[in-house]
Amino acid sequence: MAYETITSETQGAVTLITLNRPEALNALNSTVLGELQQAFAAFEADNSQHCAVVTGSGDKAFAAGADIKEMVDKQAADFFLEDFFAGWNDMTAKTRKPWIAAVNGFALGGGCELAMMADFIVASENARFGQPEIKLGVAPGMGGSQRLTRAVGKSKAMDLCLTGRMMDAEEAERAGLVSRIVPHDQLMDEAMKAAQAIAGMAPMAAMVNKELVDAAYETTLQQGMLHERRVFQILTATEDRKEGMAAFVEKREANWKGR
Ligand code: DAK
């Protein structure tokens, strides 16, 4: 599928989606968001694809936020009537397969929010994260105040949202926003390697692991543990569970059926 503002390609069982407006630091406009929704829907529907990586083109940015030039002349009624950026949550709400954000530079505002929608973030040492919306007289609109607070705690989330300052990759990793930092020139190799490793797991198990970790945000500990136990019990009925355990005992690679 040909897109205007992103690219999407498959490498084995991994889909690589690249935001492709480097001249605007990959700022997210309505076209980008619509195309991202399409690319994610295609990834989700393709049974040969088991993990995705999202990154930004160019050397400077993952995404420097929503496109301010697209928003500057809009009135409040336009945002409401157009339902501007509606569907931004599709990447989390409608995607059951795992995906990784490979953050290669600025991830600001909507860019930071997009990265936080991913199941985890691999950051280059050049990555910079922030929610600078306050400097524009607004506030986060795609989950920044909520996901950042859950990821890094109230104090740091308040600091970032209220001052609009950026944090570097090391601070982001210390705070728990980022799962790993890698040298800038190795970012895509490392992110793709992680994605290939995930894509090599039993597909239903990968989807269920994602669902269980996500459930930790929505449930009490007791409910979450009960859900986890039930899901474990149900997964034991899959062909892949039998294959995975048999392969271990027989000291061979598992041959997943995806069933
Ligand atoms: N939008 C549009 N263009 C941008 C941009 C952005 N967010 N960020 C950078 N660019 C453009 C610049 O305008 C410039 O293009 P030209 O003007 O040269 O044509 C080009 O990218 C290079 O940028 P700079 O020249 O500024 O590069 P520097 O290295 O000097 O600075 C920077 C990099 C990242 C520090 C700076 O560009 C910057 O501060 N950018 C803006 C960051 C920002 O404020 N981001 C938050 C945007 S607000 C909603 C949900 C969510 C949102 C809105 C609504 N709804 C559900 C309704 C989200 C809002 C946001 O994300």
Rounded alpha-carbon distances, angstroms, from residue 71 to 18, 38, 136: 23, 22, 11
64 lines ligand 1 (CB under 6 A): yes
Q: Which residues contact 196 (CB under 8 A, 6 or more apart)?
A: 12, 13, 14, 51
Contact 129, 108 (CB under 8 A): yes
Contact 59, 105 (CB under 8 A): yes
39 burial via Cβ count (<10 Å: 0-12, 13-18, 19+): buried
Determine phi and psi for 256, rounding to 5 degrees. -70, 140
Which of 66, 101, 115, 195 is catalytic? The answer is 66
Q: Does residue 66 have an active-site annotation?
A: yes
* Torsion sign (Cα): 198, 202, 207, 210: negative
What tokens appear for 188 in the block?
């895509």
Question: What integer pLDDT is reported at residue 58 of this predicted model?
Answer: 97
Beta strands per DSSP E along the chain? 6-11, 14-19, 51-56, 61-63, 99-103, 106-108, 120-124, 128-130, 167-168, 180-182
State how far the Cα of 193 lies from the Cα of 182, in Å rounded to an integer. Answer: 12
Q: Helical H runs in 118-218?
A: 144-152, 154-163, 169-175, 187-199, 203-215
Q: Whose CA is nearest to atom 59 of ligand 1?
A: 66
Q: Whose CA is nearest to atom 2 of ligand 1?
A: 67
| Ligand 1 center from residue 111 Cα (angstroms) | 10
79 lines ligand 1 (CB under 6 A): yes
Q: What is the pLDDT of residues 175-214, one digit of tens each?
A: 999 999 999 999 999 999 999 999 999 999 999 999 999 9
Which of 35, 113, 191, 202 is catalytic? The answer is 113
pLDDT < 70 stretches in the chain: none
Question: What integer pLDDT is reported at residue 199 of this predicted model?
Answer: 98
Q: Does residue 211 have an active-site annotation?
A: no
Q: Does residue 133 have an active-site annotation?
A: yes
130 lines ligand 1 (CB under 6 A): no
State how far the Cα of 247 lies from the Cα of 59, in Å rounded to an integer. Answer: 42
State how far the Cα of 181 lies from the Cα of 71, in Å rounded to an integer. Answer: 33
Q: Whose CA is nearest to atom 53 of ligand 1?
A: 141
User: What atom in ligand 1 is closest to the CA of residue 108?
Assistant: 45
Q: Whose CA is nearest to atom 52 of ligand 1?
A: 141
Residue with tokens 């897109």: 3
Rounded alpha-carbon distances, angstroms, from residue 221 to 9, 120, 152, 153, 241: 39, 21, 19, 18, 26
Which of 61, 133, 157, 206 is catalytic? The answer is 133
Of 19, 21, 25, the one to substitute when testing ligand 1's pocket (max ligand atoms within 8 A of C-beta) is: 25
